[in-house]
Amino acid sequence: MGFSSNLQGKIAHEALLSRQDAELRLLESMKRCITLKVKSDRDYATALSSVAAQGLKFDRSDELSGSLVGASWRSMMEEMDNTAKLIRQNADSMESKCLDALNSLYTEKRKARKLYQEEHSRILQQFTHLSDEVSRKKSEYQKYLELYKLARYKFEEHYVKSGRGGRKLDEVRDKYQKACRKLHLTHNEYVLLLCEAVEFEKDFRTVLLPGLLEHQQSLQEAFISTWKQLLIEIATNSDLTSEKFREVQRKIENSIESIKPSEEYKDFTEKHKSSPTEPVKFTFDESLVEDSAGKLLPNQLTVDNLTVEWLRTKLTDLETSIKENQEKRTALTTNHEGLANGNSTLNNEINNRLSTTSIDTSRKEVNELKCQERKMLKQTELIKSALNELGCEEAPAACDLSIDNQNFISNASEQGDGSQSTLSKRSMFEAHRLVSMLRKPFRRKSLPSSPVAPPRSRSRKDSSGARSEGADPVSLTTNKSLVDEEWFHGVLPREEVVRLLSNDGDFLVRETTRNDECQTVLSVSWGGHKHFIVQTTAEGHYRFEGPAFPSIRELILYQYNSGLPVTSRSGAILYKPIPRERWELNNDDVVLLDKIGRGNFGDVYRAQLRNSNEIVAVKTCRVTLPEEHKKKFLQEGRILKQYDHPNIVKLIGICVQKQPIMIVMELVPGGSLLTFLRKKSSTLTDGQLMKMCLDTAAGMRYLESKNCIHRDLAARNCLVGYNNVVKISDFGMSREEEEYIVSDGMKQIPIKWTAPEALNFGKYTSLCDVWSYGILCWEIFSRGDTPYTGMSNSRAREKIDGGYRMPAPESTPDEMYRLMLRCWEYKPENRPNFEQIYSVVETLCAAYRVTFC
């Protein structure tokens, strides 16, 4: 069934035209898709090459020399790079061949459609014209027939009346003859025209229109054939299962097959082989018991009133542990046997290996439990033997402990020149504590009513084990509360705490919220950073492992002044309290006046500082926010506290002593730059707009020098100060890194201000801020208009990827718009940095000052 026999009707003709229009639209869609595919394949190839380069970096180390796994991995990374090259080649081929061919096909199809429509209209017009001519000639025939009938009637009438002669009869006869001649002539013309029409209609129906349709069918089928070849070419360039890729995969599989676990460590073992270690002998140092008057013997447990209860408790604990150990060992042994029996039913090689690994792990754990059990059994035998030799329930008396506490201390203090050179106050305290403990070995120590007095000076152990002077004493003022202490930092985030505690023994106290419960934490630097939660007793007192106190402040003072470890396991000792930094303000120092705005985390207020009466702006953080959001809120303060620049909003302080957390900043009177631009749009000159661009460039140049990525640069996040000076604000999304990769999703990202590489790959650098700066300049010169007006975020993103860039706002200097376009270069490496941008804008300001400044 063809066009010529089935598509001659008007409806069929219109359908054929519609089909060709649809095919043209399909071609346009294919061109767009192929363009995007070429781009995505190139981006993917670039990313794959980066991964391969990163994966090959391990090879720089000699520690993996001879490793089969390392060699296999190296081969995999090299083949990954080859894969990237193949994908890039396919993308280039698709662009150079397929895309050009699609453009040509589209052009030819448009031309063919036009020619078909013109030719169809021409022959249809001919047929229509001939049909109209037949109708006209028929009407003319009818008219002359009536005239002929009338002339004949009059002639017959005069002929009957007047006979055979007369002038009137001659006139009537003459008219009759003329009408007759005209009728016969018209008759002949009509007959000939009908003949022509019949033949043309036949040709139109059987030759002309079928021929046109047949030619059109042939042409369209040729197009389809070309189209098919194009699709084959596209599919070929998109085929990741082609022989080239299969060859890469075979190389990877061969490199993996070359791994033999039994040979992996052959070279390593040969290179680093050494003699077996000599056994370590542990012997009792008999010099330790020389002064014990024979009451303590080497390698023998001493059983007396000081130790019998401890030995019995220890024996009970050991027996319990042995029982638990045996139960674990039994369970593991059962599991081991089950894996061994089930291994025979496993067909998959990986499952076999996993099962073998599980069996090996189970065996290792069983062996470890056996070793632990042997140690505990040996200790149990030793204790039982000592208790059995005692033979009675009561322990014998220990050494004479009737030492006078005061005499012990006074005698010690009287040695030397009386200046307590032998025993310091610290030693006297330790002696007092030791004697008290020895006198009452079985009595629970009562809680002290107040902290122990501090020594005159504190000391810190240096790297050699000696102690160095100079730590600040902790205040013992009794009327202070915990929040008044300089070393209490309120809800300061853990990240800041870690930064403040730099030396062993540095400590501070803070608060945190866990599971909706407020807890007080002692943070100490001691071989790392340790954080101890203050425990609360049933009586409402506070403690760590030692005695409890009525207040947390007294507990901390006791730990500091006693010099005892916070916990025996940590061994952490408090040497130096770390006071609050100058930017840590007390919440009570800030008086909130009136609400001036609302942010992502809470309200913004105009406020006053009590001490200086300075009017400031205060951002508050809602108390009900999760801890993670509060950390993000404080991030702006942590970044701003170290910056000082006239075009960066100035941080005054952070209030973390209690809730709500507040960030205190300078109050910038002009408010948001976006609002300012919209309100003053009619009065702002081009010179003032250019100066705003220069201010922003200066601030961003400063941030770039500090490796700070703002990530949210826009007119809404800039403030206008006195003399229209622009200050960059809102650092809630900022990061102090040369490169930042988003790992927590792309939520709340300002799409229309964000660079393509950040949107597509989550990769941020200072050059992403350059893109945003271009948008900001567009906002400034459009006097507060919205970028990509009328477009949704997704539409704007699609247009940008397709190469679209916003036109220049009205009256924008050409040089400034060229700078915007440079900021909007798709590849970040083609954009200028802020040092270059500042130089350009500064030069433009100088050049145009005469004109419009």
- Grouping H, G, I as helix, E, B as strand and the rest as coil, residue 459 is strand
How far is residue 131's CA from residue 193's CA, in Å, rounded to a whole number?
10
How far is residue 56's CA from residue 76's CA, in Å, rounded to a whole number?
9
Cis peptide before 660 (omega within 30 of 0): yes
- Rounded to a whole number of angstroms, the CA Rg of the chain reads 49
Residue 662 tokens read as: 């507040």
If you search the block for the tokens 């490496």, which residue do you land on? 829
| CA nearest to 734, candidates 651, 656, 813, 812 | 651
234 is in an annotated binding site: no
Rounded to whole angstroms, what are the CA distances from 653 to 110, 630, 664? 69, 16, 5
232 is in an annotated binding site: no
What DSSP state is assigned to residue 527? S
Secondary structure (DSSP) of 386-422: HHHHH-SSSPPP-S-----HHHHHHHHHHSTTSS-SS
**Which amino acid is residue 649, in one-letter code?**
V
619 is in an annotated binding site: yes
β-sheet bridge partners, residue 618: 605, 664
What DSSP state is assigned to residue 658? S
| CA nearest to 87, candidates 33, 53, 49 | 49
**Those residues with Cβ within 8 angstroms of residue 217's Cβ, 6 or more apart along the chain or in another chain:** 2, 3, 4
Please indicate whether residue 400 is annotated as part of the active site. Answer: no
Catalytic residue from among 712, 744, 769, 814: 712
How far is residue 387's CA from residue 706's CA, in Å, rounded to a whole number?
70
**Those residues with Cβ within 8 angstroms of residue 783's Cβ, 6 or more apart along the chain or in another chain:** 677, 678, 681, 684, 689, 809
608 φ, ψ (degrees, to nearest 5) = -130, 140
**Those residues with Cβ within 8 angstroms of residue 629's Cβ, 6 or more apart along the chain or in another chain:** 601, 621
**Those residues with Cβ within 8 angstroms of residue 642's Cβ, 6 or more apart along the chain or in another chain:** 706
Helices (H), 475-546: 494-500
596 is in an annotated binding site: yes
What DSSP state is assigned to residue 709? B
Contacts 24+ apart (CB under 8 A), 108-111: 108/223, 109/20, 109/23, 109/24, 109/27, 109/223, 110/24
752 is in an annotated binding site: no
Secondary structure (DSSP) of 190-231: HHHHHHHHHHHHHHIIIIIHHHHHHHHHHHHHHHHHHHHHHH
- Grouping H, G, I as helix, E, B as strand and the rest as coil, residue 111 is helix
How far is residue 585's CA from residue 574's CA, in Å, rounded to a whole number?
25
Residue 67 tokens read as: 């490793």
Query: In this structure, how many other beta carbons lie within 10 angstroms of the beta carbon of residue 464?
Result: 7
603 is in an annotated binding site: yes
Residue 793 tokens read as: 């975020």
**Contact 552/559 with Cβ under 8 angstroms?**
no
598 is in an annotated binding site: yes
Element spanning 655, H or E: strand 651-655
| CA nearest to 690, candidates 810, 790, 813, 537 | 813
**Contact 15/229 with Cβ under 8 angstroms?**
no
Residue 604 tokens read as: 């913004």
Residue 410 exposed, middle or buried by CB count within 10 Å (0-12, 13-18, 19+):
exposed
Residue 139 exposed, middle or buried by CB count within 10 Å (0-12, 13-18, 19+):
exposed
**Contact 126/161 with Cβ under 8 angstroms?**
no
If you search the block for the tokens 């060229």, which residue do you land on? 818
Start-to-end Cα distance in the chain: 77
Binding residues: 596-604, 619
Binding residues for ATP: 596-604, 619
Active-site positions read 712
